[in-house]
Amino acid sequence: MEEEWVVSVLRKCSNLKRTKQIHGHILKSGLHTDPFVFGRLLLHCAVSISDALHYSLRLFHHFPNPDTFMHNTLIRGLSLSQNPLLSLHPFIQLRRQPSLSPDSFSFAFVLKGVANSRQLRPGIQLHSQAFHHGFDTHIFVGTTLISMYAECGDSVSARRVFDKMSEPNVVAWNAAVTAAFRCGDVEGAGDVFGRMPLRNLTSWNVMLAGYAKAGELGLARRVFCDMPLRDEVSWSTMIIGFAHNGCFDEAFGFFRELLREGIGTNEVSLTGVLSACAQAGAFEFGKILHGFVEKAGFLCVGSVNNALIDTYSKCGNVAMARLVFQNMPVARSIVSWTSIIAGLAMHGYGEEAIQLFHEMEESGVRPDGITFISLLYACSHSGLVEEGYGFFSKMKNLYGIEPAIEHYGCMVDLYGRAARLQKAYEFICEMPVSPNAIIWRTLLGACSIHGNIELAELVKARLAEMDPGNSGDHVLLSNVYAVAGKWKDVASIRRTMTEHSMKKTPGRSMIEIDKVIYCFVAGEKPNEVTKEAHEKLREIMLRLRVEAGYAPQLRSVLHDIEEEEKEDSVSKHSEKLAAAFGIAKLPKGRILRIVKNLRVCGDCHTVMKLISKIYRVEIIVRDRSRFHSFKDGFCSCRDYW
């Protein structure tokens, strides 16, 4: 039959252009009035192919009497869109049709839309209507109600819906566990899991993911060990979970164990372990993974290529990142372009990032909001103020992208780094959306760098109203006072921090030696590794004084203490210890790659430049905001960071 042939061909269409051709054939053959054929066409446009939801809306409005299936299809498509709350409109239309009534799918799809939009009020109204139609006890609808309440943060209602189910199946039990985790009730999730009469593999994986996301790595490991069966999702969850919680050695360990077990890797586990390499700056391990990816045939997967670009960029080798990008055997997606632009931005190559952005435009790939964040970041770290403002305007006026709070933050950072502090302040005051604490904190950081006490005090007052317990804000203001020599004000801030039990985030630096990550923390207790690092650092500092005339920049120290104590405090910064350990352990000619959790201070920046010159070594430091590549006494940032 022709109807079956059309539906079969339709399933093979992967883009809107080809689908329109099939639609033309349907019109010519008169099948457009057939509810079965038209319904499948509508489903294909609304759900199966991307960027065709607008076409499905037009189709729906041209069909004389759409049935419940067609309404449900549109509800489903809209529930998965960027504005999922729009799924309420076809649901309301369905309710108004005297000859039609919503079924379990109608409620499940529209509840999914409400859940995705995290709007509790319409969710409660839909729950009431589901009750009125007798679907509140339906297992499919009830499970979706649990998820909806969880997404909206109402754990009590989610639990109440579950408790009223007479015979919940394993899917409902899994939804209840997920709901508890989503609402931050880790103990409650464990309780529900413990009472489950029957568990499937998904049940165990839900527990793994929940514990990992909550940072309960010990519990995650225990569940992993107790699992009767593990799949690729289980292993990927452990790799990604441990990596995101900063336990990189354990993440690498799980990946090695995965390979030893002979379990086939997938793109999720590979991108997960590559993400761990990126976060830890594990360049050597990343190179080994690159070889594995190539041999295993995963270079044909776009997401793996994107992860390699990100890994090389964050491990300090942007040249390799560009090579991966240029040699991609698959089409470059918006993620690919954005990843390489972000990589260039981190390394301070603003002009190159802009050039690549123009190449992306010429290739026909349309930039999104994340692309513009990377582009503005590139301009900020290269001092390209006018260019940054131009792109901010272009984003709105040419591409119709409404600026998010992150874009405004980039603009404040752009002006702040360029010492245009008043302009940054005026920009914040003129923002059409309320500035959050991060926006004000960005300006406070700029005030700290450029020593503007008056504006720093004003900004700190705003932050005190929004986030009074943030220790970083107190440290930044303290830094401004310390640079100006206002030690009474410094002491007052430190006293306030002590009274409120606020602790300054300790500096932490990591360096990879023979595929092992070593971590150094300022003021940590001595062990064999730190002892060796301190001994080597004393030798280095002495040589820098004698051969390069180095004198510590004591303005970086926030306390009004004796000069000797200041020098001792500055000399023990974590990146100096990591560099000293690297010089002691790595063979000559090897690049030192260091990752730090905070911004590099002025004294450490000077020391790295001198070490690179005296010891003839290249040092790449990734701090909280960018990369510094030290070579022959110079830094790639040109002292603009």
Greatest distance between any 2 Cα atoms in the chain: 92
The confidence score (pLDDT) of residue 555 equals 55
pLDDT of residue 290: 92
Beta strands in 489-633 (DSSP E): 508-513, 516-521, 592-596, 619-622, 627-631
Quote the DSSP letter at residue 597.
Answer: S
Round the average pLDDT of the chain to a whole number and report it: 87
Distances (CA, A) of 61 to 3, 64, 65, 93: 22, 8, 9, 12
- The H or E element containing residue 84 is none
Contact (CB, 8 A) for 459 and 443: yes
Strands (E), 431-541: 508-513, 516-521
Residue 195: pLDDT above 70? Answer: yes
What does the pLDDT read at residue 114?
92
The helix/strand/coil state of 561 is: coil
pLDDT digits (tens, 9 = 90+) for 115-144: 998 889 999 999 999 988 888 778 889 999
Of 324, 406, 279, 381, the C-alpha closest to 627 is 381
pLDDT, one tens digit per residue, over 523-577 is 777 788 889 999 999 999 999 999 988 887 755 454 433 443 444 555 678 999 9
Question: What's the token pair of residue 330?
Answer: 């698959």
Secondary structure (DSSP) of 243-271: HHTT-HHHHHHHHHHHHHTTPPP-HHHHH
- Structural Rg of the chain based on CA atoms: 29
The pLDDT, as a whole number, for residue 579 is 95
How does pLDDT run across 465-491, given as a tens digit for each residue? 887 777 777 887 887 887 777 778 878
Tokens of 388: 């940054």
516 has which bridge partners? 513
CB 349 within 8 A of CB 629: no
- pLDDT tier at 205 (50, 70, 90 boundaries)? very high
Would you state the pLDDT for residue 12? Answer: 78
> Is pLDDT larger for residue 564 or for residue 165?
165
| Band of pLDDT at residue 1, cut at 50, 70 and 90 | low
Tens-digit pLDDT profile for residues 419-474: 999 999 999 999 998 999 889 989 988 888 888 888 988 888 888 888 777 777 78
Contact status, residue 242 vs residue 250, Cβ threshold 8 Å: yes
Separation of alpha carbons 557 and 481, rounded Å = 11
Percent over 90 (pLDDT), the chain: 48
Distance CA 87, CA 362 (A): 35
Q: Supply the pLDDT for residue 592.
A: 93
Give me the pLDDT at residue 559, please.
43
How much is the pLDDT for 210? 95
Write the single-letter amino acid at 568.
D
For residues 10, 13, 19 and 22, what is the CA-based torsion angle, rounded to 10 degrees?
-40
Q: What is the pLDDT of residue 407?
A: 95
| Helices and strands in the chain: count of H runs, count of E runs | 34, 6
The 10s digit of each residue's pLDDT in 219-275 is: 999 999 999 999 888 988 998 888 878 787 788 888 888 888 877 778 888 888 888
562: part of which helix (H) or strand (E)?
Answer: none
